[in-house]
Amino acid sequence: MEKGKVYLVGAGPGDPKLITVRGLEALKRSDVVVFDRLAGPQLLNHAKPDAERIYVGKLPDRHTMKQEDINQLLVDLALQGKTVIRLKGGDPTVFGRVGEEADLLQKNGIIYEIIPGITSAIAVPAYAGIPVTHRDWASSFSVITGHESPDKLDHSIYWDKVTNATGTLVFLMGVAKIAYISEQLIKHGRSPETPVALVQWGTRAEQKTVVGTLSDIDERVKAANLKPPAVIIVGDVVRQRETLSWVEKKPLFGQRILITRARSQASDLLAKIDDLGGEAYEFPVIETKLPEQAEQLQAIERALSQAEAYDWIMLTSVNGVEYFFHWLDHYEVDVRRFHKAKFAAVGPKTAEALRARGIRADLMPESFIAEGLLDSLKDKISPNQLALLPRGDLARETLSKELRAQGVQAVEIDVYQTVMSVPKDLWLPEMLANGEIHVITFTSSSTVINLLEALRQLGVRNPAEALQNIEIACIGPITAKTAEENGLTVTVVPDKYTIDALVEALVDRRRMTKGD
């Protein structure tokens, strides 16, 4: 059997978007992903759907896999002919033990590639507004391990040389040893008034920064109850934080926001949350697909065959637009055959999707729900008109029932199906229990129902109870009603039922809870 290949990849400091392009390419093409917690669980969304995922970190029922066992695991997988990625937090060559892994791969004749990552030694200070070098204050910096016990630190660190060797000192994994580190630096020549910063979970929603001096930083860290992992920065560059702190000033900073809508639809929401400093956590509980049953396909073909007869085409979602045009293409129906029909679109995004197809909506209601469309149609429809309603299989019957009540012949076709999805996620139940999810967004009633069921399948006994202390944001009143009927307390509903309005409402809610 031909041997496989191993990619030893730096995943970056925590924010999944800080992986390199080369690292992401390796992740997408690998058959097996070997990872730990620091690699950022959301990165796994980019792996192939059928890729094997092997967690080598600590779980409640077992300790972290020993390094020697990880080394051998990589060899064994590659000998099976698999392409393997070893995802490591930060940069694999900075205290990442990549040399041990590569050495065993080399001895077994396995091709490997080391792909650098953005080290937390630089990225975490940057996210706290602290550049590790500065023209006036520091022209060099050192990266030092702070993880060892004090006696080992004394053997591995030459304090008399390190203390003043560079303008900035960066210690990784040294929170528990901060008192000893400060003591040694003062003892060997650093002023007790030297600025110090500790940044916990830098680049993630939990990012927290404590600033002091060598003389008082231990006190301040204890008072703030700062825990690992954290990066320690020593030097005058810490003063830059007063003016350069940027991410912590964003309105959604510190918020990890669960996104439940289909991954194919979530990009706009993800981008907006990211721009505002929030951390979007994808957990798509729905996906859309083409209908497959013969009677459904026959109904679509039959409805499209009488294109010339329709007075109205009424579209209530972007999905409705996309799938409608898919079926036009599939059955080779020229859109110009609908020359008699006017197009109605519920919501600006639906209208935008139509414009992308060269069609401007004749009608778009002010209220972006079916009831709003009905209000707008009152003076524009008449009995015996024929309306086509391309929709999803879970769409409400409100629109079609009211149209029929007014004498309009409503032809409904399910151009797509919405099905439940349960992502493979090791962490979500634990994150919910630990208060690490701050907001959950729902963009349809099906996302509410499916999330609760998905959590049950992941072992959460009472999902509604597990979500009680989390902000619940719903795109509109229909979704909010479903959430409340299922035991959730809804705290955010925008005035307009759009993604933009939902994000604005999240920002307003955040400002209110912070007291801004």
Indicate whether 399 and 430 sit together in one domain.
Answer: no
242 and 131 in a common domain: yes
293 and 412 both lie in a single domain: yes
Total number of domains constituting the chain: 4
Catalytic residue among 58, 152, 161, 222: 58
**Residue 63: DSSP 8-state:** P
Going by C-alpha positions, the residue among 204, 206, 185 that lies closest to residue 195 is: 185
Q: Residue 207's CB: how many other CB atoms inside 10 A? A: 21
Same domain flag for 293 and 383? yes
pTM: 0.85
Scanning 94-240, the segments in alpha helix (DSSP H) are: 98-107, 120-127, 150-156, 159-162, 178-187, 217-223
Residues 238 and 126 in one domain: yes
Structure tokens at 350: 């639906």
326 and 290 Cβ atoms separated by less than 8 Å: yes
- pLDDT for position 38: 77
CA atoms within 13 A on the CB side of 141: 23
Q: Say which CATH number the domain at 75 has.
A: 3.40.1010.10
Sequence-distant (6+) residues with CB within 8 A of 394 are 418, 445, 446
- The verdict on 88 and 67 lying in the same domain is yes
CATH number of domain containing 342: 3.40.50.10090
Dihedral, CA atoms, 434, 437, 439, 442, nearest 10 degrees?
-110
173 included as an active-site residue: yes
**How many whole angstroms separate alpha carbon 305 and alpha carbon 323?**
16
Domain that residue 47 falls in: 5-118
The C-alpha torsion from 268 through 274 and 278 to 280, rounded to 10°, is 60
Catalytic one of 31, 36, 218, 414: 36
Q: Which entry of 5, 173, 177, 314 is annotated as an active-site residue?
A: 173
Query: Is beta strand 32-35 parallel, antiparallel or unpaired with respect to 111-115?
Result: unpaired
Write down which residue in 378, 404, 419 finishes a domain. 419
Q: Please report, for the domain that includes residue 186, its CATH number.
A: 3.30.950.10
Same domain for 458 and 355: no
User: For residue 212, what is the enclosing H or E element?
Assistant: strand 208-213
Q: What is the DSSP string of 224-277?
A: TT--SSEEEEESGGGGGHHHH--GGGSTTTT-EEEE-S-GGG-HHHHHHHHHTT
Cα–Cα distance, 171 to 144 (Å, whole number): 5
Q: Could you confirm whether 512 is annotated as catalytic?
A: no
Q: For residue 417, what is the enclosing H or E element? A: strand 409-420
Place of tokens 């209908």: 291
Q: In the block, which residue shows the tokens 């080290």? A: 119
Residues 94 and 132 occupy one common structural domain? no
Q: Domain boundary at 367, 400, 419, which? A: 419
Q: What is the amino acid identity at position 328?
A: L
Same structural domain for residues 234 and 337?
Answer: no
**pLDDT per position in the chain (516 positions), as tens?**
799 999 999 999 999 999 999 999 999 999 999 998 777 778 998 999 899 999 987 654 556 788 999 999 999 999 999 999 999 999 999 988 899 999 999 999 999 999 999 999 999 999 999 999 999 899 999 999 876 555 555 567 889 999 999 999 999 988 999 999 999 999 999 999 999 999 999 999 999 999 999 999 999 999 999 999 999 999 999 999 999 999 999 999 999 999 999 887 778 899 999 999 999 999 999 999 999 899 999 999 999 999 999 999 999 889 999 999 999 999 999 999 999 999 999 888 899 999 999 999 998 876 555 565 666 677 778 888 999 999 988 777 878 888 888 888 999 999 999 999 988 887 899 999 999 999 999 999 999 999 999 999 999 999 999 999 999 999 999 999 999 999 999 999 999 888 899 999 999 999 988 765
State how far the alpha carbon of 392 is from the alpha carbons of 64, 279, 285, 288, 321, in Å: 46, 30, 16, 9, 11
| Statement to judge: residues 33 and 142 lie in one domain | no
Spatial CB neighbours of 208, under 8 Å, sequence gap ≥ 6: 199, 200, 201, 224, 226
Q: Quick check: helix, strand or coil at residue 343?
A: strand
Instruction: Indicate if 226 and 260 belong to the same structural domain.
Output: no
| Pair (262, 192) in one structural domain | no
Beta-sheet pairing, 83-88 with 5-10: parallel
Last residue of one domain, picked from the residues 199, 223, 249: 249
Distance of alpha carbon 426 from the chain centroid: 15
On whether the CB atoms of residues 101 and 107 are closer than 8 A, the answer is: no
Q: What SS3 class is residue 481?
A: helix
Look up residue 200 and give its two tokens: 């916990």
The verdict on whether 154 is a catalytic residue reads no
Determine the Cα angle at 19 with ends 170 and 47, to 5°: 140
